[in-house]
Amino acid sequence: MSQEINEDEIIETLENDGFIVQKNIKMGKWRADAIINSSHQGAIIVEVKNKISIPDVLSTASMTQHIPSNMISGMGTISTYYTPMSSVKNLASNNEIAIINWSEPEKARVYYKFLEKITSIESYAKKISKMNRLSIDNIIHLLLSHHVITKELAEELQKIWTIRNKIIHNQDVNIIEINNASELADQILKIIKY
């Protein structure tokens, strides 16, 4: 039994979850189905596809390089009901495009909530470093050197990033792991409010 994904329903669900969503946004030569605006000037690109193809992944990857000028950090996602072919999944992983499967809507919603927090942390670090690309080690060093977080919280941030990496490299993560990492991300976001 095949299920068609409904772009409007996905976007409405995200809006109902409290996300600030912009629809049909031009990014470079592409048009994103939607963008979630995270705090601290982050953006999550939301593409909605029934079946994901290689061109879908490449266009989403291109869009992450053309986030709106008022945003500091961006991340690409493709929402679907289907598990893509391994070649498509590998290409998405290599381009850090998270494939969010809506066959489990509650889990998909938790993924987006977590990714919004990650994008906010990344944007904050990029803003104070004035660098476009930062590894987790750079982010931790930066936050420690600016006395934003403690060494203990730095260790927790490393755990959060492990979950982030699993998601953007399209490895399965259970809801308990995501919720635990999300709570830690909330602690960091409370500290870095600006």
- Domain boundaries along the sequence of the chain: 7-191
Stated pTM of the model? 0.89
Task: Count the neighbouring beta carbons within 10 Å of the beta carbon of residue 92.
Answer: 26
Q: Does 3.40.1350.10 match the CATH number of domain 7-191?
A: yes
* Res 1: pLDDT: 45
Distance CA 144, CA 161 (A): 16
Distance CA 87, CA 103 (A): 21
* Res 2: pLDDT: 59
Distance CA 154, CA 134 (A): 15
* Res 37: pLDDT: 86
Distance CA 33, CA 16 (A): 17
CB burial of 105-134 (b: ≥16 within 10 Å; e: otherwise) equals eebbbbbbbbbbbbbbbbbbbbeebeeeeb
Q: Which residues pair with 74 in a beta bridge?
A: 43
* Res 44: pLDDT: 92
Rounded mean pLDDT for each run of 10 residues along the chain, 194 residues in total: 80 93 88 85 91 95 83 88 93 95 93 93 80 78 86 90 93 93 91 70
